[in-house]
């Protein structure tokens, strides 16, 4: 029998309604614990309300996931606060493909990203009824969630392809990979579904860099979470096939409308390509082309070549300094 989204909640000994109530009750606590940001005044009061709502949605999601992890018996990583634990995973698991920074992972889980994205997307001309395509890796589940929350509050149609594998301290734990996190949150009614397809991630977007057992685990998680989300399982034979299928998927789900933006969260190979040219890119909104014209370019470069604006979310510390997101 195909699993549904609610099946991801069954491991928890705490009822979903109780977790959600605790998350909503704690939404204000994060804001009290974190320094306020200095922001430019939004163009309208309604925009400020949407930014606050996006932050509250992300806070509720983070607390919900932290409670679910505790109920599943997963330890909190050393050096990680309770309010961060839902979106920061173990350093090493079979699903880890690359090294990451614990500082960057902790910084990426701040709810301020969701509110800031509401303001930044609005300033970039993205609004209600627009279609935004995205690539979500497991390396920065906090940024994935911030994009989901911001788009939900702006009334944007978000079409994402999510992947399972992650860098260290990302969504590394089986049961709490990014697609499984999304399935839990959708089942609890905290966020709308964003993922239209799920892949294993890693090398060739098919986890070919993992040991056979770990690769099989990533493939199973991709299949099961895709079924739970009502999304397509993406199991490409080659990297080029993954790139092509992602582009086709965005075109199908856009309903003939042009993409208002492409968002890359993390380092999925199908999104970035095999070329090292993406390492020279500054994190944030990218304007102008070309930045990669090689044969190995990924979805991000190919959409940019078609004139689609790009938001590249990878170097978290650099972006936090430029956007004014607290480093505490």
Q: What is the pLDDT of residues 231-271, one digit of tens each?
A: 999 999 999 999 999 999 999 999 989 999 999 999 999 99
- The helix (H) or strand (E) run that includes residue 157 is strand 157-163
Q: Exposure of 13 by Cβ count < 10 A (0-12 exposed, 13-18 middle, 19+ buried)?
A: exposed
Residue 59, both tokens: 């806070």
Give Cβ neighbours of residue 55 (< 8 Å, ≥ 6 apart): 31, 111, 112, 114, 115, 149
**How far from chain centre, in Å, is Cα 61?**
13
Q: What is the pLDDT of residues 268-291, one digit of tens each?
A: 999 999 877 666 788 899 876 656
Mean pLDDT of 312-322: 93
Give Cβ neighbours of residue 58 (< 8 Å, ≥ 6 apart): 111, 113, 114, 142, 145, 146, 149
Q: What is the pLDDT of residues 136-183, one digit of tens each?
A: 999 999 999 999 999 999 999 999 999 999 999 999 999 999 999 999
Instruction: With CA atoms as reference, report the closest residue to 190 among 225, 130, 149.
Output: 149
| pTM attached to this predicted model | 0.86
Give Cβ neighbours of residue 88 (< 8 Å, ≥ 6 apart): 77, 80, 102, 105, 106, 109, 169, 170
Alpha-carbon distance 239 to 298, whole Å?
A: 9
Alpha-carbon distance 269 to 72, whole Å?
A: 31
Residue 35: per-residue pLDDT: 33
Residue 20, both tokens: 């959600």
| Contact indicator for 54, 117 with CB cutoff of 8 Å | yes
Q: What is the pLDDT of residues 179-217, one digit of tens each?
A: 999 999 999 999 999 999 999 999 999 999 999 999 999
- What whole-number percentage of the chain has pLDDT above 90? 77
| Contact indicator for 81, 103 with CB cutoff of 8 Å | no
Residue 287: per-residue pLDDT: 77
Strand ranges inside 171-283, DSSP E: 195-199, 232-234, 259-265
b/e string for 66-91 if b means 16 or more Cβ within 10 A?
Answer: bbbbbbeebebbeebeebbbbbbbbb
User: 118: pLDDT confidence band, cut at 50, 70 and 90?
Assistant: very high
CA-to-CA dists, residue 195 to 31, 183, 239, angstroms: 28, 9, 19
């Amino acid at each position: 029998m195909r699993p549904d989204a609610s099946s991801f909640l069954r491991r928890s000994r705490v009822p979903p309604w109780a977790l959600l109530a605790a998350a909503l009750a704690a939404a204000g606590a994060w804001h009290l614990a974190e320094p306020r940001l200095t922001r430019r005044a939004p163009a309208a009061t309604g925009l400020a309300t949407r930014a606050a709502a996006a932050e509250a949605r992300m806070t509720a999601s983070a607390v919900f996931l932290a409670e679910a992890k505790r109920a599943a018996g997963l330890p909190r990583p050393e050096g990680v606060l309770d309010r961060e634990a839902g979106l920061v995973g173990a350093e090493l698991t079979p699903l880890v493909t690359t090294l990451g920074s614990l500082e960057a992972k902790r910084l990426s889980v701040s709810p301020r990203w969701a509110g800031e994205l509401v303001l930044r997307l609005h300033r970039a001309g993205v609004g209600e009824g627009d279609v935004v395509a995205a690539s979500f890796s497991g390396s920065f589940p906090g940024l994935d969630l911030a994009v989901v929350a911001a788009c939900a509050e702006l009334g944007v149609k978000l079409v994402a392809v999510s992947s399972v594998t992650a860098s260290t301290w990302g969504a590394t734990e089986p049961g709490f990979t990014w697609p499984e996190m999304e399935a839990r949150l959708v089942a609890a009614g905290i966020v709308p579904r964003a993922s239209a397809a799920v892949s294993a991630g890693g090398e060739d977007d098919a986890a070919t860099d993992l040991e056979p057992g770990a690769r099989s685990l990533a493939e199973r998680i991709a299949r099961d979470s895709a079924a739970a989300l009502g999304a397509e399982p993406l199991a490409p034979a080659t990297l080029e096939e993954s790139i092509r299928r992602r582009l086709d998927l965005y075109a199908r789900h856009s309903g003939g409308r042009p993409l208002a933006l492409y968002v890359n969260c993390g380092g999925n190979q199908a999104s970035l390509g095999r070329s090292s040219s993406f390492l020279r890119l500054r994190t944030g909104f990218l304007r102008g082309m070309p930045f990669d014209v090689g044969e190995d370019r990924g979805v991000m470069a190919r959409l940019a070549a078609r004139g689609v604006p790009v938001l590249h979310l990878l170097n978290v510390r650099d972006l936090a300094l430029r956007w004014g997101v607290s480093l505490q």
